[in-house]
Amino acid sequence: MEIALKIVLVIASLGLIAAVLLQPGKSSGLSGAISGGAEHLFGKQKARGLELFLSRLTMGLAAAFFILSLVVAFFVKQA
């Protein structure tokens, strides 16, 4: 059981890394630093399509990683 949970944890962590790396950058470079980037903070920009999917996938994988880490730590402590 412990080995299976560790394998699932590794798969979740690799998926989380891939999901984060696939997301597009949100910085606007030097022009955003000069203007303050207020349009990004207070703008009405909604994520759509692939960006929305990757955002939700990242949140789901992060939650799974957190929960699996706690479960694996519990099982390792019991052994």
The pTM for the full model equals 0.74
In a domain, 35, yes or no: no
In a domain, 27, yes or no: no
In a domain, 7, yes or no: yes
Mind spelling out the 3-state secondary structure of 38-55? HHHHHCCCCCCCHHHHHH
Sign of the C-alpha dihedral, residues 7, 10, 15, 18? negative
* pLDDT of 28 strictly over 80: no
* pLDDT of 78 strictly over 80: yes
Pull the structure tokens for residue 29: 């470079």
In a domain, 57, yes or no: yes
pLDDT in tens, 59-72: 999 999 999 999 99
* pLDDT of 1 strictly over 70: yes
In a domain, 39, yes or no: no
What is the predicted pLDDT for the residue at 33? Answer: 58
Task: Indicate the number of domains in the chain.
Answer: 1
CA 66 to chain centre: 11
* pLDDT of 38 strictly over 80: no
**How far is the CA of 32 from the CAs of 19, 27, 38, 42, 53, in angstroms?**
25, 7, 8, 13, 26
Domain with 65, as residue range(s), is 1-20+48-79
